[in-house]
Structure formats: structure tokens, C-alpha cells
Amino acid sequence: MSEKKQFVAQGRLIDEMSLKNRLVELFTKWEVILSFLFVVVFIFFTNMSPYFLDWFNLMNATFQFSEKAILALPMIFIIMCGDIDISIASIIALCAYVIGISAEAGASIPTLIVLSLLVGSAAGLVNGLLITGLNMPAIAVTLATQNIYRGIATGMLGEHACTKYPQGFGFFGQEFIPGTIIPFAFVLYLALMLVFFFVLHKTAYGRRLYAIGNSAETARFSGINVRRTRIINYTLTGFFCGISAVLLASRILSVRSNIATGWDLEVITLVVLGGVSISGGRGTVFGVFISSLLVGYLKFGMGLLKFSGTVMTIVIGSLLIIAVLLPRLLDIYKANRKLKIQQGGL
């Protein structure tokens, strides 16, 4: 018996799907909807403001969102596994504090970077160990460490602001790639995004993340070390907080204890809006890439139109809720369709 023949019985359903059905399937894909939305945002702001569609301005805008977009990458892994981390803004504060005081003590640029990455990774590792070690809920643990990490920065810095940095430190967050109009931070983001794309979609590690997110139990029964994977995710997120802290400190050259407040929400919004299911197991790096650009340029455009930061906050919060509500409605729609197709109503 030929192998093809074995598949015939159930194969008809999918292979003989009409063009219309294929199109519906494609256009209800979250990434496609997002890309479409992105184009709409672009057209809208181009019409509303003459300053929007300008290469220099578009590139300049990336300064505002690259740091958050970078954080969204490891957060994909965490949410993919059904976990959550609401301590990232505090880890950044901790890293930034270390950068700030070390710089004041006269540390060199490489030292500052290494310190920031180490402190970030350590903070993330502690999160991971606490959550998996005692099997405590991720939301509660990271809520506590959110205060602990931020608390260290607040306690040590008080009202103090660190403003002394070595010559050239501003490069990471303020400068362009020499000879171009492309900011360094954005290039870094694009590079990291490609790495994450590769890891999630082309490696064993990425495959395991999907397995854990959909069924941690099956993953465990298949010989995947679920606990270790989760710890790695949290450590990785901490490490990226370290990167983000360097960019942020370099950009604003002033570290206070309230630095990066509210970033937890924004980063989680990017990830969830990008189509990563909050209960885990579903999502792509491409989706989060689009959502990062979408939110970034939405804010930039609204800024051009003189909308206050307040309105943006409301828009971001609403986007988060809509991003979860909409796929759910789409799922119901798709399920109904599938049922209709199965009942022969093609």
C-alpha cells in the first residue's frame, strides 16, 4: 500500500479546501491582521502629519521603543511556557543603579556592561529558582521581587540621581551606526530579534518551549527538563534587562530609582498583542516584531499629533485587553466554520 493512500480517508478535508476557505484561514491569522493594522497606522499618520513619513524621523523614533522591544524577546519565552514576569522593570532599575554608581566610582565602559548583564542575569536566576524551587505562583513571586529589586535601588539611591558617565557611554542609546541614519540600539534589536526567531522556530529549545506551553505534563513525560527550561527563561530575561538597562542609562544619562516604571505592562502588552497566548504554547517572534513596531509607531505618530502620554497609556492598556479578547472571538468564529465544513457545508 502506498503511503499516500493511507492518508486519503481524512486527507480530503484539508486538501480539497476551497480557495475561499484558504483565504479566510489566511486572513484570520493574527500576524496577518497585525501587519494589516500596521499598514493602516502608517497610512493614517502619513496623511495626518507631514513629518511622519520621513526616513530620518522614522529611524529616530526607534530610540523610543528599541529597549522595550528587546525585552519583549525573552518575555516571549516566558509567556510561551505559561509563566509571567512582572519584575523586569525593577531588574532594569537594579541594573541601572549598578551602572550609575559604578560609573560614578570611575568604572570603564566594558566593566559597566558586564556588571549590568551579570546583575540582571542573577536577578532573573533568583526569580526562576524561587518559582520552580518551591513551586510558587510566578505572578506572586515576581510581584514580591518587583519590590525587592526596585527596593534595593530605591534604598541605595534615595533621591540621588547618577549623572556621571565615562566618555562615549552615550553611544549605545544615542548614536547611529557610523555613516548611516540607523540607531545602534535598533540594529542591536534587529539582530537579537533574528536570533530569537531562529531559536524559537529552528532549534530544539524552541520546540521544547511550544511543547511545555501546550502541555507541561506531556513535555515532562517526553524527557524534557521543564524546570531547567523555565529557569533558563527567567535568567535570559534578567540578562536582557541588563542589556536594556545599558541602552536606557546610555540614552538618558541619568539614573534615578524610579527608572523604567511601568515597563512591565508595556512589554507584556507587546508580547500578548504579538499573538503569544497568555496561557502558553502559541505565538511567533514575527508577530511580536510587528506588534513592537506597531506600538512604537503608534506612539510616535500620536506624539506628532500632540496627543498626551496619558492617551497613549489608555491606548496601550486597551490594546492589551483587545489583543486577548479578539483572538478568542476569532477562535470561536473559526471553530464554528470548521464545524460547518465538517458537516459538509463547504
Q: Is 314 in the site for another protein (CB under 8 A)?
A: yes
301: left (phi over 0), alpha (psi -120 to 50) or beta: alpha
CB of 45 to another protein, least distance (A): 20
Choice from 140, 177, 195, 339 touching another protein (CB under 8 A): 140
Residue 195 touches another protein, criterion: CB under 8 A: no
For Cα atoms 174, 115, 175, give the angle at the middle one, nearest 5 degrees: 10
Phi, psi of 93 (to 5 degrees): -60, -40
Part in contact with another protein (CB under 8 A); list of ranges 37-45, 184-192, 232-240, 317-325 = 317-325
> Which residue from 168, 207, 333, 336 is in contact with another protein, where contact means CB under 8 A?
207
Q: What is the dihedral of CA 169, 173, 179, 181, to 10 degrees?
A: -160
| 98 touches 155 (CB < 8 A) | no
339 binds another protein (CB under 8 A): no
- Angle, helices 285-304 vs 55-80, to 10°: value is 140
Q: Which is nearer to another protein, 43 or 325 (CB)?
A: 325
Q: Is 81 in the site for another protein (CB under 8 A)?
A: no
Q: What is the DSSP letter of 177?
A: P
Indicate which single residue of 148, 191, 305, 335 sits in contact with another protein (rule: CB under 8 A): 148
Determine the size of the site formed for another protein (CB under 8 A). 78
Closest CA to 219 of 230, 228, 232, 209: 209
* 282 binds another protein per the rule CB under 8 A: yes
Q: Which region, judged by CB under 8 A, interacts with another protein, from 24-32, 36-44, 210-218, 232-240?
A: 210-218
Instruction: Verify binding: residue 273, another protein, rule CB under 8 A.
Output: no
Q: Is 84 in the site for another protein (CB under 8 A)?
A: yes
- Binding of another protein by 308 (CB under 8 A): yes
What's the gap between Cα 199 and its chain centre? Answer: 15
| Amino acid at the residue 85 | D
Please name the helix (run of DSSP H) or strand (run of DSSP E) that holds residue 43, with its range, or none.
Answer: helix 30-48
Q: Which of 102, 116, 132, 146 binds another protein (CB under 8 A)?
A: 146
Q: Which residues pair with 183 in a beta bridge?
A: 176
Q: What is the DSSP-derived secondary structure letter of residue 180?
A: S
Residue in 143, 187, 252, 341 binding another protein, rule: CB under 8 A: 143
The residue (of 12 and 39) whose beta carbon lies closer to another protein is 12
Q: How far is the CB of 181 from another protein (least distance, A)?
A: 32
